[in-house]
Amino acid sequence: MSALTAVLYGALAVYLGGWFFGLWTGNFALLLFTLTVLTFGYWVAERWRFRPAREAAAAALEQQDAQRRAVLARQGIAQVDGDVEQAKRRLLAQPWWLDWTAGLFPVILVVFLLRSFLYEPFKIPSGSMLPTLTVGDLILVNKFHYGIRLPVLNKKVVDNHDPQRGDVMVFRYPVDPRIDYIKRVVGVPGDEVAFRNQRLAINGQEVPIEPIGEYYDEDSLRYVPMFQEQLGAVSHRILVDPRRQAFYGSGTKSFPYGENCRYQPDGVVCKVPPGHYFVMGDNRDNSQDSRYWGFVPDANIVGRAFFVWMNFGNPRRIGSFH
């Protein structure tokens, strides 16, 4: 078993190493599920086989020692060498391969359950959600707000709230579901979302915005106009840079329900299909979102982001956000 455990740990090291160096895309949910199952198998084996065997060996050693001492006592020898208690402790001690498998099962199980059904941490990798979220923000995502889903399969088994306009949502990228994205929900099923000349409109009504000064973008090393936007019940900040206005071209994009979108040089108008959502980044001119790759299906939803729990470069970032 020690050799098998060493092989498993070697495979884990190769997998994590290749993931770290970008040789392949890892699936942490699947990895955590696999580790939970494997350590559970070791835990069961330890509880019902390996530990009883060690305890039986320790009891046999104690019995042999008692018999030896009884024989020596009958011969008038009262002082007997040997520390049977120390030998018993060695027999009862878990070997390393059980300590690093069965011993870790409770911890891995708790992490798996918390991450799968309650809260999951994410790290913000880009500036597409500036000024709401910055690069390096470590955030918490509520996994049950939109319903309970089976881990790995991501299949919803219990309904809860539906995504609302203004929610900051984490989801699996429709183009490559192995990658998680974070954007703000701007359109729900049935909405007509228009983004033309850098102005957002929902069902024919422009979303109210108010200028609130400028934001210093550390990536571009310049100031960008900042606005307060009222999207549904949520008031939040956005960046709109007239110097970086996108050119959308014309024609239908090649994504599911692409026929629901009309593209013109000044923007795009999309009708959100049932069971799908239209999402955008708060950094409107520096975000790859539904304007370019289409709608987010309900099956791809991971959870609702709501709290920055750490930013090692700026601890003042800690707190809730809209």
Give per-residue pLDDT as tens, 235-278. Answer: 999 999 988 877 777 655 789 999 999 998 889 999 999 999 99
Question: pLDDT tens across 147-190, in order?
Answer: 999 998 889 999 999 999 999 999 999 999 989 999 999 999 99
Q: What is the pLDDT of residue 183?
A: 98
Residue 149 sits in the same domain as residue 254: yes
Residue 230 sits in the same domain as residue 310: yes
Residue 177 sits in the same domain as residue 89: no
> In angstroms, rounded to a whole number, what is the distance separating the alpha carbons of residues 223 and 28?
37
From the list 88, 183, 287, 290, the catalytic residue is 183
Closest CA to 13 of 31, 29, 1, 30: 31
User: How far from 20 is each of 8, 14, 15, 24, 175, CA to CA, in Å?
Assistant: 18, 10, 9, 9, 22
Write down which residue in 112, 147, 162 finishes a domain: 112
Burial label for 60, CB within 10 Å (0-12, 13-18, 19+), is exposed
Beta bridge partners of 263: 268
> In angstroms, rounded to a whole number, what is the distance separating the alpha carbons of residues 39 and 225?
53
Q: pTM for the whole thing? A: 0.87
State yes or no: pLDDT of 129 exceeds 80. Answer: yes
Instruction: Indicate the number of domains in the chain.
Output: 2
Average pLDDT over residues 40-67: 90
Write down which residue in 67, 88, 112 finishes a domain: 112
Residue 38 sits in the same domain as residue 156: no
Residue 156 sits in the same domain as residue 293: yes
CA-based torsion, 31, 37, 43, 46: positive or negative:
negative
Residue 210 sits in the same domain as residue 272: yes
pLDDT band at 82 (very low <50, low <70, confident <90, very high): low
Q: What is the CATH number of the domain that holds 178?
A: 2.10.109.10
From the list 88, 116, 128, 143, the catalytic residue is 128
Active-site annotation holds for 254: no
Query: What is the span of the domain harbouring residue 71?
Result: 2-112
Question: pLDDT tens across 210-220, in order?
Answer: 999 999 987 77
Closest CA to 98 of 9, 31, 1, 32: 1
User: How far from 156 is each of 34, 52, 146, 163, 172, CA to CA, in Å?
Assistant: 20, 41, 9, 14, 14
Q: What is the pLDDT of residue 89?
A: 87
Residue 105 sits in the same domain as residue 173: no
Residue 135 sits in the same domain as residue 108: no
Residue 40 sits in the same domain as residue 182: no
- E-assigned strands of the chain? 119-123, 138-142, 148-149, 156-158, 168-172, 180-187, 192-196, 199-202, 205-206, 209-217, 222-231, 234-239, 261-264, 267-271, 276-280, 296-297, 301-310, 319-320
CA-based torsion, 204, 208, 211, 212: positive or negative:
negative
To 5 degrees, how large is the angle CA 203–CA 207–CA 212?
A: 170
Write down which residue in 112, 137, 163 finishes a domain: 112
Residue 88 sits in the same domain as residue 181: no
Residue 105 sits in the same domain as residue 152: no
Determine contact, residues 272/205, Cβ cutoff 8 Å.
no
Q: What is the pLDDT of residue 252?
A: 57
Residue 169 sits in the same domain as residue 307: yes
Q: How many residues appear in the chain? A: 322
Active-site annotation holds for 128: yes
